[in-house]
Amino acid sequence: MPDVSPTRWHLAHTTWFFETFLLKSTPGYQVFHEDFEYLFNSYYNTVGEQFPRHRRGQISRPGLPETLDYRRHVDQHMMELFSAGEFDGRGHVIELGLHHEQQHQELILTDIKHVLSRNPLLPAYQTPTPMASGEGGRLEWTSVDEQLVQAGHADATFCFDNERPRHKTYLQAHELAHRCVTNGEYLQFVNDGGYRRPELWLSLGWAQVQQERWTSPLYWLRRDDQWHEFSLAGLHALEPNLPVCHLSYFEADAYARWAGCRLPTEFEWETHAAALSMEGNFADRLTARRLPIHPRGAGGEIPSKPAAMFGDVWEWTSSPYTAYPGYQPASGALGEYNGKFMCNQFVLRGGSCATSSDHIRPTYRNFFPPEARWQFTGFRLAR
Amino acid sequence: MPDVSPTRWHLAHTTWFFETFLLKSTPGYQVFHEDFEYLFNSYYNTVGEQFPRHRRGQISRPGLPETLDYRRHVDQHMMELFSAGEFDGRGHVIELGLHHEQQHQELILTDIKHVLSRNPLLPAYQTPTPMASGEGGRLEWTSVDEQLVQAGHADATFCFDNERPRHKTYLQAHELAHRCVTNGEYLQFVNDGGYRRPELWLSLGWAQVQQERWTSPLYWLRRDDQWHEFSLAGLHALEPNLPVCHLSYFEADAYARWAGCRLPTEFEWETHAAALSMEGNFADRLTARRLPIHPRGAGGEIPSKPAAMFGDVWEWTSSPYTAYPGYQPASGALGEYNGKFMCNQFVLRGGSCATSSDHIRPTYRNFFPPEARWQFTGFRLAR
Amino acid sequence: MPDVSPTRWHLAHTTWFFETFLLKSTPGYQVFHEDFEYLFNSYYNTVGEQFPRHRRGQISRPGLPETLDYRRHVDQHMMELFSAGEFDGRGHVIELGLHHEQQHQELILTDIKHVLSRNPLLPAYQTPTPMASGEGGRLEWTSVDEQLVQAGHADATFCFDNERPRHKTYLQAHELAHRCVTNGEYLQFVNDGGYRRPELWLSLGWAQVQQERWTSPLYWLRRDDQWHEFSLAGLHALEPNLPVCHLSYFEADAYARWAGCRLPTEFEWETHAAALSMEGNFADRLTARRLPIHPRGAGGEIPSKPAAMFGDVWEWTSSPYTAYPGYQPASGALGEYNGKFMCNQFVLRGGSCATSSDHIRPTYRNFFPPEARWQFTGFRLAR
Amino acid sequence: MPDVSPTRWHLAHTTWFFETFLLKSTPGYQVFHEDFEYLFNSYYNTVGEQFPRHRRGQISRPGLPETLDYRRHVDQHMMELFSAGEFDGRGHVIELGLHHEQQHQELILTDIKHVLSRNPLLPAYQTPTPMASGEGGRLEWTSVDEQLVQAGHADATFCFDNERPRHKTYLQAHELAHRCVTNGEYLQFVNDGGYRRPELWLSLGWAQVQQERWTSPLYWLRRDDQWHEFSLAGLHALEPNLPVCHLSYFEADAYARWAGCRLPTEFEWETHAAALSMEGNFADRLTARRLPIHPRGAGGEIPSKPAAMFGDVWEWTSSPYTAYPGYQPASGALGEYNGKFMCNQFVLRGGSCATSSDHIRPTYRNFFPPEARWQFTGFRLAR
């Protein structure tokens, strides 16, 4: 799976970012190893050649000890940078490096999960923890009238360049579901022949279903004539009230069509989310619970308004990933961070159970190709 | 090239459309040949299985005589249908079949051009005709203020379902170039190393350039140290003042980035075009001139306002091909015509020199994947 | 199917051979068309670049009329060469060109058959003719003691270079079946799960069966729960007493293993064949009967000794295609005819129903990769 | 590289062999882990499904500690088997398991070498040791007259089934070189445009050279305008007097053609080797010297007769890997060990610097596809 990288690579790459974009321009700094510029460059053409992505898993050196040495070396120099206060004008780059590392922390988890899932032993990464039982409950809808709204990041606090500039856009009248689609609901789609009915799918989606022989979301497995789900805690019976997770844009779109609804646009999503507090099931808040669950209100109830928009699962929107009007990428290599990927991808919002709580924003735009399933992705309906 | 089909297939398929969607439901009608339902079904899953697209060129039967018999048979039955006036309620389907045939007439030309271009003999499809010399002339811009506009088809006349419903959308302040980018202008981009500078390209575009070893638009060739262009009239020296043609969305986007501009959105394009008359260089109006040229004003001058928005070349926009708010595909098989392709494609506007003049509209949305180059595609700048 | 070429290409190529290897070195000769050297060069690196094999089917020019003009032009010049008697020392090359054309005459038939077989209409190339009913009859065996024998072409008459030099080789004691395996016998293998039992197959063969989903020889089809066979006369019920045909070395080897036997070596085959007259079902002798049949003896009986070793089907041997001891290819381009293919192919003997009767010899070595099925290939058993 | 497996896999697989073919049929034996039958089955269809070869490198569990536990568990039970003397009739299987493990010990080294070679850091597996300088010296030839000889394993001592039965074969008069081709000699071929001259290559070999862009043997690298070679001791300057190593059958065949010679047949090789003692540079005899060198005679001289036929490099022969007359594979799964691979591979003889000295025999037949380069392969000339 060419999108998956070893943990060792993620550790080296996030450190490479600080070395490359901050330390290298610091007078007197000596690179840790001259070959690491090439080995751990993910996709920055401006920096130089990149070791091919699909071969990252074939590199056994540097091993873990040397990789940790690399990290310590760079961390130490960064600390010196902080002490000397010598980073004026590059504060944004440091902040970017930290957010970048948070993104890779999430990828470490998704990649480990994928590697373990491809092992017939289906090993568990961590011990199982008791899960909230919860109920899906009847789907409730919140209406919004048509109106002109603002979208995009509003102030000078940190954001990625693709969240700017703030701009006007026209929202159509619509309704948004109060929660994400659950395993139980998605199972109805499966049992109604969802994966065998081409009329429910985009053309590219139906081609993908046939070519890859999809019959369910990525980590669902049939065992003893029952559906199970593979998680970082190993294989367990499918929990009907969890948000369905690890499915592609194609599957979310097909379910929505089957249900007579649609996916929300990113601007519909943002308008609702901006009104909420950013509470949810994140990587740090809920200890070791790498499974998405519905947060409950204070009295244990499932909120009826759109809630749980943050954490749990990244929510697919119907919006292709494009540039906001007036978008300007940063100059130099850091301009390669987001803008050059604005093609053939769809926007996801809200963060997941593997995202850090201080990483997400209502305006945060994640993006993946429509066939990607190895991220913690789910969706909610709109109509 | 799996996107290209033999002329014989196009002839049979356009006739198949009438047989399948009109004649088959007519009492007493006998299909011409029972295997043609499968052989000439392009992609209508609702109708049944489809003979694989990439194998269309390997079928030597039915030969041309039998294919023409098939067409005569269906035309005859359609005429009977008209005489009997027995098509109430299906008038839209007949209209759709006629517009469908116009689309395939254009594809016949693009496909013939591609097949001949892959032959080392570089055969000409037709005799060359003298071309308007023209000058590119200085690029002029028309400004538009930000405003809420309506987009989409307005009345009950024919359109494809993807042009509806008419809806409000917010236009940002912008400027649109008065003409398309020319060969001469694009050549400057080529000579400035455009195809060797990754920072100008979307990530997928740069990957495409490297994998396919692109160094120019599709039909440009180096001969005797000069650029030539292959056309349906054979190989000829590159004409600097013609609109650059047969290039991908990736190349249009890279040129725009190089020029410090961008591609227009489809709604910007539509707003300007709706104000113009639909005059231009089409397949029928200008005899046998399959090469795009700039139409001139009455005094031979090149118009300065946005003009030539119709005909010549389909113009890439920056808009991914998506559903308009409230979009509903037709029910049944005909709902497979447009909607299921709304993924990983970009919208083109305006028609080309191979389009029939009565086929195009300001709201007409053509769509192709970003790497496609075998259609008559060009672009104009916005900023 | 990259091994298959259009008939037009075969016609042009066989003419190209005479132009390239004879006429071009004739003073004053003007080539018919300067691009044909490239277009119709099959694989002679010494001559120059070759138009890629898998694209031969995509070239619509030169069309048939121009191709026939090419042939007439070259034939005319060859006649002049004969009249002038100006071919001393090149008599062998002319003879080679004629045998080369005979090889392509056989390929024209196999390639047409393949193209038509891939058309859902399953068109017939010719009208069916009544076939000899025949009986398979009990398999009889001829014994040969171990001995030192001579193999390879013995005299100065024409042969291909790979049939020389004549050399000694040691024959083990063995038995050879008197006829080829029939459809009826092969069907028993099929019905006994032959295509589902990996232990019967070479490793590469089992991989091929799985990857290509083979369940029978190439032109067998199930219709109405019965086996049929596609031939140049269209689809007909499987005839149990015909030699099984259009199967790979892998399938012949698996059947032999299933039957507790083996394939003969090419030297075992040659030793038996050298004792027989070259009678059999060839392309020219039996009018329009492109289906292999057993020739009968004068009284209508099936001969009991090894017979029908010539014609009908090319017989797979267990011998990889290698160089005879002391093998020397011709110098120059014509040395590329046979020697450079001596890798990963197996030898077949005896000619087929599509071979000309004056083309074959007991020492003639045909060769194909073990997965090839589109030639008229069958086999007989040894033990 | 799908042919390469992690060391952890080799360790588990060699242990799996003993568990599967010996312990499982022992009353009361409990398998170590029920999933290991699938995970570590290399290619024994008779035993069951096999985890795909190309995915072996993606399995992180069982980790090294658990794999070593597996080995200890099986070794312990095997020791109990020995103590109890309970292996009558299966002594051959135990012997086979030991020789099988020796084969995988060699593969462990070749696979580690390959993985490290693909790392831009070019890590060394072991510290360099001083190498014998040696000189190639003038090539000397030993003549043999034509004669009938016996080939194959002669007595009841251990051998693989493909070395039987012993049989008569006819040897042509020939000469064999006294040593393998050296780096220095091969370099002359390279510098003479060997990799750019199609007339020197088999057709499949030339296709391979072009497709893979070969310009030298596998582990040769250009650095500072000089040739270097990568070994298990890291990168070092090319040593002209070492036997050229890590090249394909295609390259050996092309060099031989360039030199006006050929490769020996396996029977020519065996006839010469059977007369020699099995001395040479093996994995065990020469400490940590994983680089092939010429063994010297007692006085330090390079022997002039064919010598060094054992150890150093496996020597390509011109013989395709086929069955000896009368060959019978073992019954059951162990019959899958050798026989089913007798297709599209060539025989190599003599063992290499990574082979155990007690593993090799004059009749031992190794085999690889003609494009394989990652084994310790070289060659000597015949004529």
Which CATH number do you get for residue D367?
3.90.1580
Report the gap between the CA of A16 and the closest CA in chain B (Å).
Answer: 21
Q: Write out chain B residues lying below 8 Å of A162, CB-based.
A: none
Q: Does B34 contact chain C (CB < 8 Å)?
A: no
Touching chains, A (3+ CB pairs < 8 A)? B, D
- At residue C195, does pLDDT exceed 70? yes
pLDDT tens track for B17-69: 999 999 998 889 999 999 999 999 999 999 999 999 999 999 999 999 999 99
**A303 vs B165, more confident:** B165
pLDDT tens track for C174-186: 999 999 999 999 9
Closest CB from B43, B250, B325 relative to A203: B43
Q: Does D125 contact chain A (CB < 8 Å)?
A: no
CB C365 within 8 A of CB C339: no
Closest CB from D148, D340, D370 relative to C203: D340
**What's the mean pLDDT in C165-173?**
98
Closest CB from B202, B342, B344 relative to A342: B202
Residue A89 and residue A228 in one domain: no
Residue C102 and residue C158 in one domain: no
Residue A27 and residue A149 in one domain: no
Q: Does B49 contact chain C (CB < 8 Å)?
A: no
Band (D322; pLDDT cuts 50, 70, 90): very high
**Neighbouring residues of B259: CB distance < 8 A, sequence distance ≥ 6:** B189, B381
Tell me if there are at least 3 CB pairs under 8 Å linking chains A and B.
yes
**What's the mean pLDDT in D363-374?**
98
Interface contact A119-D57, CB threshold 8 A: no
- Closest alpha carbon within chain B to C63: B123
Q: Is C116 helix (H, G, I), strand (E, B) or coil?
A: helix
Q: What is the pLDDT of residue D77?
A: 95
Q: What is the pLDDT of residue D292?
A: 53
Residue D12 and residue D78 in one domain: yes
Q: What is the pLDDT of residue C301?
A: 54
**What's the mean pLDDT in A12-17?**
97
Q: What is the pLDDT of residue C226?
A: 97
Band (C288; pLDDT cuts 50, 70, 90): very low
Q: Write out chain C residues lying below 8 Å of D198, CB-based.
A: 45-46
pLDDT tens track for B183-196: 999 999 999 999 99
Domain range for residue B293? 141-378
Q: What is the pLDDT of residue D85?
A: 78
pTM exceeding the 0.80 threshold for the entire prediction: yes
Residue B87 and residue B213 in one domain: no
Q: Does A168 contact chain B (CB < 8 Å)?
A: yes
Interface contact C336-D199, CB threshold 8 A: yes
Closest CB from D51, D60, D121 relative to A61: D121
Closest CB from C170, C199, C320 relative to D168: C170
Residue D170 and residue D271 in one domain: yes
pLDDT tens track for A102-157: 999 999 999 999 999 999 999 999 887 766 655 567 899 999 999 999 999 999 99
Residue C145 and residue C101 in one domain: no
Interface contact B169-A170, CB threshold 8 A: yes
Closest CB from B167, B203, B204 relative to A172: B167
- At residue A302, does pLDDT exceed 90? no
Q: What is the pLDDT of residue D296?
A: 52
Mutate to test the interface with C, among B8, B37, B61 (most CBs of C within 10 A): B61
Closest CB from B58, B61, B119 relative to C61: B119
Separation of alpha carbons C216 and C251, rounded Å: 9
**What's the mean pLDDT in C195-213?**
97
Q: Write out chain A residues lying below 8 Å of D34, CB-based.
A: none
Share of chain C above pLDDT 90, in %: 81
Residue A127 resides in a domain: no
- At residue D82, does pLDDT exceed 90? no
Q: Does C2 contact chain D (CB < 8 Å)?
A: no
Residue D296 resides in a domain: yes
Residue B47 and residue B162 in one domain: no
- Average pLDDT of chain C is 92
Interface contact B118-C58, CB threshold 8 A: yes
Residue A124 resides in a domain: no
pLDDT tens track for A205-224: 999 999 999 999 999 999 99
Q: How many domains does chain A have?
A: 2
- At residue B152, does pLDDT exceed 70? yes
Mutate to test the interface with D, among C47, C146, C174, C344 (most CBs of D within 10 A): C344
Q: What is the pLDDT of residue A305?
A: 65
Q: What is the pLDDT of residue A35?
A: 95
Q: What is the pLDDT of residue B289?
A: 46
Residue D48 resides in a domain: yes
What tokens does B140 get?
């002029």
Residue C134 resides in a domain: no
Q: Does B336 contact chain A (CB < 8 Å)?
A: yes
Strand partners, A262: A382
Residue A287 resides in a domain: yes
- At residue A191, does pLDDT exceed 60? yes
Residue B113 resides in a domain: yes
Residue D16 and residue D96 in one domain: yes
Report the gap between the CA of A178 and the closest CA in chain D (Å).
Answer: 40
User: In what side-by-side order are the strands of the sheet with A220-223?
Assistant: A220-223, A226-231, A234-237
- At residue D360, does pLDDT exceed 50? yes
Residue D208 and residue D284 in one domain: yes
- Average pLDDT of chain A is 92
Separation of alpha carbons B366 and B343, rounded Å: 13
DSSP annotation string for C176-188: EESSPPBHHHHHH
**What's the mean pLDDT in D207-228?**
97
SS3 of chain B: the string is CCCCCCHHHHHHHHHHHHHHHCHHHCCCCCCCCCCHHHHCCCCCCCCCCCCCHHHHHHCCCCCHHHHHHHHHHHHHHHHHHHHCCCCCCCHHHHHHHHHHHHHHHHHHHHHHHHHHHCCCCCCCCCCCCCCCCCCCCCCCEEEECCEEEEECCCCCCCCCHHHCCCEEEEECCEEEECCCCEHHHHHHHHHCCHHHCHHHCCHHHHHHHHHHCCCCCCCEEEECCEEEEEECCEEEECCCCCECCCCCHHHHHHHHHHCCCECCCHHHHHHHHCCCCCCEECCCCCCCCCCCCCCCCCCCCCCCCCCCCEECCEEEEEEECCCCCCCCCCCCHHHHCCHHHCCCCEEEECCCCCCCCCCCCCCCCEEECCCCCCCCEECCCEC
Q: What is the pLDDT of residue B287?
A: 41
Interface contact B199-A46, CB threshold 8 A: yes
Q: What is the pLDDT of residue B284?
A: 83
Residues of D (212-231) whose Cβ lies below 8 Å from A = none
pLDDT tens track for C44-70: 999 999 999 999 999 999 999 999 999
CA dihedral over D345, D351, D355, D361, signed as positive or negative: positive
Residue C254 and residue C202 in one domain: yes
Residue C124 resides in a domain: no
Q: What is the pLDDT of residue C152?
A: 98
**What's the mean pLDDT in A289-305?**
52
Query: In the listed set D64, D84, D117, which residue is the last one of a domain according to the structure?
Result: D117
Residue A154 and residue A219 in one domain: yes
Report the gap between the CA of D335 and the closest CA in chain C (Å).
Answer: 9
Closest CB from A168, A170, A199 relative to B168: A170
Among B11-25, B164-178, B223-237, C72-86, the range scoring the smallest mean pLDDT is C72-86
Q: Does D65 contact chain A (CB < 8 Å)?
A: no
Report the gap between the CA of D282 and the closest CA in chain C (Å).
Answer: 30
Report the gap between the CA of C344 and the closest CA in chain D (Å).
Answer: 5
- Longest CA–CA span in chain B (Å) reads 66
Separation of alpha carbons C259 and B36, rounded Å: 44
Strand partners, D314: D377
Interface contact C38-B118, CB threshold 8 A: no
Band (C290; pLDDT cuts 50, 70, 90): very low
Interface contact D46-C199, CB threshold 8 A: yes
